[in-house]
Chain A
Amino acid sequence: GAVVSQHPSRVICKSGTSVKIECRSLDFQATTMFWYRQFPKQSLMLMATSNEGSKATYEQGVEKDKFLINHASLTLSTLTVTSAHPEDSSFYICSARGARGADTQYFGPGTRLTVL
């Protein structure tokens, strides 16, 4: 299947700092990318959907000013957690899919964020 990468795989930061997570589709053009968050022993929770060149659509309850999403190209989306706090510590996962109606959504390996 197609490959989606995330960088970094793991990050530890101090409270109040900002952290950027990159999501790349390595072998296909990703018209749409999704960002999820997963807390321990819970399922994935969709945070936002982004289409290349457009503003992201955020799910209810997700602060768009805190979780900045940029999808500037067909192979790269970034999630920036601004002014991170310990409650933002989580496993962040991106996914990407192509433009066709039946295109499969492929997931990245995830980024473990720990805010001290």
Chain B
Amino acid sequence: DAKTTQPTSMDCAEGRAANLPCNHSTISGNEYVYWYRQIHSQGPQYIIHGLKNNETNEMASLIITEDRKSSTLILPHATLRDTAVYYCIVPMTGGFKTIFGAGTRLFVKA
């Protein structure tokens, strides 16, 4: 089973920030949180990852709670092209096996 839970779907207005939550309450101390997205009929695209500190790159920001049991992916100015399924992943240590949950289907609306 996936080690994360996410809402099934979310809507966001174009130009507004999209905040996608993820719960990973069983995460252990040395496990990273990764975010990917999948646009229809394509392979997943890497977005960002983090361990303890908040992270930011050209695509998004990742906010991880102090207890590391949850995180939020922030797309600061969502565009129509950000419509996709977003996956929050915690790869297993000792092999890095990655189990995908259902993800969050984000709809960005004009």
Name B's A-contacting residues (CB within 8 A): 30, 32, 34, 36, 38, 41-46, 49, 51, 87, 91, 95-103
Chain B: interface secondary structure?
A: loop
* Bound complex: CA A32 to CA B51 (Å): 21
B100 with A104: CB separation less than 8 A: no
In the assembled complex, 11 residue pairs joining A and B whose CB atoms fall closer than 8 Å, in A order, are A43-B103, A44-B44, A46-B97, A46-B99, A91-B41, A93-B44, A95-B43, A102-B51, A104-B49, A110-B41, A110-B42
Majority SS of interface residues in chain A? strand
**Roughly how many angstroms separate A103 CA and B51 CA in the complex, as a whole number?**
12
Question: Chain A: which residue is nearest B36 at the CB level?
Answer: A107
B44 partner, pick from A32, A45, A102, A107, beta carbons under 8 A: A107
In the assembled complex, the Cα of A36 lies from the Cα of B42 at a distance in Å of 13
Instruction: Known A-B contacts: A43-B103, A105-B46. Give 16 more (CB < 8 A).
Output: A43-B100, A43-B102, A46-B97, A46-B100, A95-B98, A101-B30, A102-B32, A102-B49, A104-B49, A105-B91, A105-B96, A107-B43, A107-B46, A109-B42, A109-B43, A112-B41
| Interface set of A (CB-CB < 8 Å, partner B) | 1, 4, 6, 32, 34, 36, 43-46, 49, 91, 93, 95, 97, 101-102, 104-110, 112
Which B residues are in CB contact (< 8 Å) with A46?
97-100
Are A49 and B95 neighbours in the complex by a CB distance under 8 Å? Answer: yes
CB-defined contacts of B51 to chain A, threshold 8 Å: 102
Contacts of A4 in B (CB 8 A): 43
Bound-complex Cα distance A105 to B92 (A): 12
